[in-house]
Amino acid sequence: MKFLEQAPRFLFFTGKGGVGKTSIACATAIELAEAGRRVLLVSTDPASNVGQAFGVGIGDKITAIDAVPNLFALEIDPQAAAQAYRDRIVGPVRGKLPEAVVKGIEEQLSGACTTEIAAFDEFTALLTDVAITSGYDHIIFDTAPTGHTIRLLQLPVAWSGFLEAGKGDASCLGPLAGLEKQRAQYSAAVDALADGRRTRLILVARAQNSALREAARTHVELAAIGLHQQFLVVNGLLPKEEAALDALAAALYAREQAALAATPDALRGLPCDYVPLKPFNLVGIDALRQLFVETPPHLDAAVGEAVELHAPSLSELVDGVAADGHGLVMLMGKGGVGKTTLAAAVAVELAHRGLPVHLTTSDPAAHLAETLHGSLDNLTVSRIDPRAETERYRQEVLRTKGAKLDAQGRALLEEDLRSPCTEEIAVFQAFSRIIREAGEKFVVMDTAPTGHTLLLLDATGAYHREVARMLDARGAHYTTPMMQLQDARRTKVLLVTLAETTPVLEAANLQADLRRAGIEPWAWVINNSVAAARPRSPLLRKRAENELAEMEKVATTHARRYAVVPLLRDEPVGAPRLLELAGHATEPA
């Protein structure tokens, strides 16, 4: 592996949920330790399964992995770190400020950015404290901080009092209120990250257009702030020999090769490694040792002979949606799970039944909207441009809140407006103009904001004022979007995930986030299931078997109702294939 050659002291692995960065980080740690190096593996992933991968309990204390001499591991619990962080910041103002203000601060500190900054606060010592790290040749981090977080830590501004002064908008600056005393330590940590002699960043992706685009964005963002020592690992490639055994495998192989051929230009200059798809779950030391080893070309044909799967189809789930005759259907989930495609599939299935549907999407690749436009009676499609809406929102905030700020305050506000929440807020304001149609037809909404963002919007009143402005002028009675989203009779939220460990954990965390905002998800959708596709390839059959445990968790622990969507041979573009995806029609085996 190129990324292991002359490995520096610090190795950071980053990538979207479900691409396999934890498995690759664990396999790297084993390889270096078995080469005689003393290694500490640190996870700051909210959905960490490092302990599960090694088959031992780890937790928040450095733990020796007995089966691998020289290897030690540590799991920083980002949720616990974030709670301690919140308590440290909110405690001094509790009882001194009005309760409503305190609640607003707590919500400001409840999002993903707080968790990330709190985790960074925890592992900063591992980058800077010689007393802790002197005993290790390599320190490997599963989940690197984002460019946004690092830029926030670099801003030369005093954070204290920021929230109470009301200068910010609803996003990620709240967590910075308690950092002033640690700025020197953070500066040293950021310097270590940017030093290519000490640090290497490994971008992990799958051979999928969305995952490669995400890796390219991360590369550009981190390179812009000085992290130039980057490598790319494309994980989970289907071996070519499997393509000869099965029509599904052949289609997947062709799709992956096309994605690799279209790799974004930003990634083409990076050193790159390719890791083949394995037929087994990467749990346990023996399995992890095999990750970087070539898999034998053929598996025993008897392995995974028949995967019996009896699960509801998306079409069956739509039966319950269609019964109401109209309403808002929101699809939510982490990046890369297929929200946009499933939103289109739900819309097409409803329209096919003769029901009026408006599909609204913020999909940057507008091919779905183009393909569906006019292709079915009862269906209209609109696309919201996230960049245009975000820029419009940014300019409005800078014009109003930024008008009276000094240069430092304006720099802080501008960074605030680069946060992940900003696009969600801006896009949802655009969506909110369409939501009112749900009283007369179905509105299917792709790329919905998280519960944290909705609570921030509720606290600031941003979209309430927008709705009020539009409807008060007519003297009309109105329901704000937040009120509508909390009304289960009007809104159905579908959580989209994959039948893999990390995506299921992330969806469960998102469900908890929504419940905090008073929104109860109506159903889960497990997308791109290999088991539901009934493959003939021995490798894919074994992968199908591995999905069953995650499906069982969804069905019995997380979801009130659920559906399973098969992995299709062809990209699901166009009404006929979307109907097939929903289970309305089945392609012959």
Mark whether 15 is an active-site residue: no
Mark whether 18 is an active-site residue: yes
554 DSSP 8-state letter: I
- Name the H helices within 417-492: 420-435, 451-460, 462-472, 481-485
Mark whether 135 is an active-site residue: no
Distinct helix (H) and strand (E) counts, the chain? 26, 15
- The total number of residues shown for the chain amounts to 589
Indicate which residue of 15, 16, 45, 168 is catalytic: 45
Indicate which residue of 18, 333, 338, 583 is catalytic: 18
Mark whether 313 is an active-site residue: no
Q: Return the H-helix or E-strand segment holding 563.
A: strand 562-566
Identify whether the C-beta of residue 9 lies closer than 8 Å to the C-beta of residue 138.
Answer: yes
Q: Return the H-helix or E-strand segment holding 232.
A: strand 230-237
549-556 long-range CB contacts below 8 Å, 24 or more apart? 550/499, 550/500, 550/501, 550/504, 550/526, 551/309, 551/311, 551/499, 551/526, 553/504, 554/497, 554/499, 554/504, 554/524, 554/526, 555/311
How distant is the alpha carbon of residue 494 from its chain centre? 16
Nearest Cα to 300, choosing from 546, 531, 542, 589? Answer: 542
Sheet with 138-142, strands from edge to edge, namely 63-64, 71-75, 39-43, 138-142, 10-14, 199-206, 230-237, 272-276
13 vs 204: CA distance, rounded Å: 7
According to the 3-state scheme, what is the secondary structure of 494-533? EEEEECCHHHHHHHHHHHHHHHHCCCCCCEEEEEEEHHHH
Nearest Cα to 273, choosing from 13, 543, 35? Answer: 13
Token digits of residue 80:
């616990």
Q: What share of the chain is helix, strand, coil (3-state, %, to 5)?
A: 50, 15, 35
Mark whether 2 is an active-site residue: no
How distant is the alpha carbon of residue 474 from its chain centre? 40
Q: Is 352 helix (H, G, I), strand (E, B) or coil?
A: helix
How many other CB atoms are there within 10 angstroms of residue 92's CB atom? Answer: 10
Q: Is 493 helix (H, G, I), strand (E, B) or coil?
A: strand
92 vs 111: CA distance, rounded Å: 20
Indicate which residue of 14, 22, 362, 537 is catalytic: 22
Q: Give 156: exposed, middle or buried? Use CB within 10 Å, 0-12, 13-18, 19+.
A: exposed
Active site residues: 18, 20-23, 45, 502
